[in-house]
Amino acid sequence: MSHPLRAAAFTSDAERTTWHDETLWFVRQKRDKAVYGIPEFQQLRQLASDIKEHTLSRLDEYLEQFEQNARANGVQVHWAADAEEHNRIVLDLIRKAGATSLVKSKSMLTEECHLNPYLVNNGIAVVDTDLGERIVQLREEAPSHLVLPAIHLKKEDVGETFHQHLGTPKGEKDPQALTEAARLHLREKFLIGEVAITGVNFAVAETGAVVVCTNEGNADLGVNLARVHIACMGLEKLIPRTADLGVFTRLLARSATGQPVTTYTSHFARPAAGREMHIVIVDNGRTRQLGRPDFRASLKCIRCGACMNTCPVYRRSGGHSYDFTVPGPIGAILSPNIDMRQHSSLPFASTLCGSCTDVCPVKIDIHAQLYKWRQIIAQEGELPAAKKLGMKLLSSVLARPGIYRLGGKIAREGLRFLPHGLTHAQALNPWAKARELPEAPKQSFRDWYAQQAVKQ
């Protein structure tokens, strides 16, 4: 199914679509307020971009340095070429620990690898502990946003889910009460957690530490009560120095939610006495993206979600319409690298307005990459038939001025007389769904211009 079809399902509820749009725009406004409070914000973006670019240019060296330092800290480092190997490594570690259950804090990487279903199929009970992730997990859905996993749901939906799974009273929809119920429910899980899995926001080469940012405190609670900590990271999470965290921690939360910083910025370098810590470094297509000069900048992404909050298409089509782990503009440039055929409609889910590029804290040229993917997708013959036909027709018309002029005349005359039901027939003209054509001018620009020349 393509993005437009899935988006159509989302927008069929107009009220909810408007609510979704406005809620995310509100988050974007909070971001603006936080950003305007920092005079050097634009310099910070440049610095972040430069640091990431430098790191990518020497990524092999930083990976080795990071591994060496982590090992010296008593951490075991594992490498996974793809999702399957990642999942196998994690399952092995859990089995070696003799565990049958685990608590997990937010990790888009494990979503990307579809770790949860894999573990469940192998008899491991997985509990997502981030509130939003827990909500979508109970509903057997995927997160619909990078940092706001349950943003597609209303409090009534959450209330119903909690009523079914946690036994909250029917009809309870107060966020405070629902959060309290989740706190009590998840605390039980934390207390018996044997293995804790976390994602990684930043991996510091010079110390071997991984940094995890949360607001809820679920990563720290999980890790510090469990015997075994497994941190899963994509290999692009590297940064060279502890000092670089100054730049990234100032950008991340402000760009994401407009907070001055996340509540917990946690640095894990060495396991506590008698406990284990593992780091799994995952490629899964990243080195391939690194080899594409037009698209490698997408590896600078720090997963703040700002590009989706600002995107007019994301806001009105919802995260699930992308059908990819990372939705929104950044997902639309990451997904074709993974499977161009499956995700061929995503680079077209954009107006190319460039708002994503404007807010991106690491200055990824997102809209330019969307445009470039479109050309590759067209070259590879992956355009949908209607679009292909339309483009062909248009290019042959544009190449023949005579036909172009004639077409314009027919349209100007025709639109005045043809019935609305025909020009706006949605089966023939999908453009006209929710759109009106402008009134046709009596005269073409060409004729008007010729007249002016005569007058002078």
Residue 361 contacts which entry, other proteins, ligand SF4, none (Cβ below 5-8 A, type-dependent): ligand SF4
Within residues 137-156, the interface with ligand SF4 by CB under 6 A covers 146
In this chain, which of 166, 225, 376, 415 binds other proteins, going by CB under 8 A? 225
Count of residues in contact with other proteins, rule CB under 8 A = 95
In sequence order, what are the residues at sequence separation of 6 or more whose Cβ sits closer than 8 angstroms to the Cβ of residue 255? 31, 35, 304, 305, 306, 359, 360, 361
CA-based nearest residue to 269, from 213, 229, 210: 210
Does 149 bind other proteins (CB under 8 A)? Our answer is yes
Residue 330 contacts which entry, ligand SF4, other proteins, none (Cβ below 5-8 A, type-dependent): ligand SF4
The least CB distance from residue 344 to other proteins, in Å, is: 24
How far CA 296 is from CA of 90, 143, 343, 344, 347, in Å, comes to 28, 25, 18, 18, 16
Residue 362 contacts which entry, ligand SF4, other proteins, none (Cβ below 5-8 A, type-dependent): ligand SF4
The least CB distance from residue 206 to other proteins, in Å, is: 9
**Per the structure block, which two tokens stand in for 404?**
């172009």
Does 126 bind other proteins (CB under 8 A)? Our answer is no
Give the three-state DSSP class for 86: helix
Give the three-state DSSP class for 387: helix
Does 66 bind other proteins (CB under 8 A)? Our answer is no
The least CB distance from residue 403 to ligand SF4, in Å, is: 42
Does 258 bind ligand SF4 (CB under 6 A)? Our answer is no
Does 80 bind other proteins (CB under 8 A)? Our answer is yes
Does 267 bind other proteins (CB under 8 A)? Our answer is yes
**Per the structure block, which two tokens stand in for 240?**
């060279």
Does 372 bind other proteins (CB under 8 A)? Our answer is no
Give the three-state DSSP class for 301: coil
DSSP code at position 272: P
Q: Position of tokens 């029917």? A: 170
Cα–chain center distance at 23? 17
Does 91 bind other proteins (CB under 8 A)? Our answer is no
By DSSP bridging, strand 209-214 and strand 202-204 are antiparallel
DSSP code at position 236: G
Cβ-based nearer residue to other proteins, 2 or 101: 101
Residue 280 contacts which entry, other proteins, ligand SF4, none (Cβ below 5-8 A, type-dependent): none
Determine the angle formed by the axes of helices 218-225 and 175-192, rounding to 10 degrees: 20
Residue 306 contacts which entry, ligand SF4, other proteins, none (Cβ below 5-8 A, type-dependent): ligand SF4
In this chain, which of 7, 47, 146, 306 binds other proteins, going by CB under 8 A? 47
In this chain, which of 131, 232, 360, 370 binds ligand SF4, going by CB under 6 A? 360
Give CB contacts under 8 A, 24+ apart, made by 71-74: 71/208, 72/208, 73/208, 73/209, 73/269, 73/270, 74/270, 74/271, 74/277
Does 290 bind other proteins (CB under 8 A)? Our answer is yes
Give CB contacts under 8 A, 24+ apart, made by 376-383: 376/336, 376/340, 377/336, 377/340, 377/344, 377/347, 380/340, 382/340, 382/341, 382/344, 383/344
The least CB distance from residue 357 to other proteins, in Å, is: 19
Give the range of 50-58, 137-145, 359-367, 437-445 binding ligand SF4 by CB under 6 A: 359-367
The least CB distance from residue 262 to ligand SF4, in Å, is: 14
Give the range of 28-36, 288-296, 354-362, 413-421 binding ligand SF4 by CB under 6 A: 354-362
Residue 360 contacts which entry, ligand SF4, other proteins, none (Cβ below 5-8 A, type-dependent): ligand SF4
Alpha helix locations (H) across 242-379? 244-256, 286-290, 306-310, 312-317, 328-338, 355-359, 366-379
Residue 301 contacts which entry, ligand SF4, other proteins, none (Cβ below 5-8 A, type-dependent): ligand SF4
Does 305 bind ligand SF4 (CB under 6 A)? Our answer is yes
Give the range of 49-57, 184-192, 360-368, 432-440 binding ligand SF4 by CB under 6 A: 360-368
Within residues 323-342, the interface with ligand SF4 by CB under 6 A covers 330
Does 438 bind other proteins (CB under 8 A)? Our answer is no
In this chain, which of 2, 16, 76, 79 binds other proteins, going by CB under 8 A? 79
In this chain, which of 303, 315, 343, 367 binds ligand SF4, going by CB under 6 A? 303
Q: Return d(Cα 5, Cα 2) in angstroms, integer.
A: 6
How far CA 54 is from CA of 47, 61, 189, 251, 290, in Å, comes to 10, 11, 41, 18, 13
CA-based nearest residue to 147, from 186, 94, 106, 109: 106
Does 232 bind ligand SF4 (CB under 6 A)? Our answer is no
CA-based torsion, 69, 109, 245, 190: positive or negative = negative
Alpha helix locations (H) across 73-130? 83-96, 108-112, 115-121
The least CB distance from residue 87 to ligand SF4, in Å, is: 24
Residues forming the site for ligand SF4 (CB under 6 A) = 146, 301-307, 330, 359-362, 364, 366
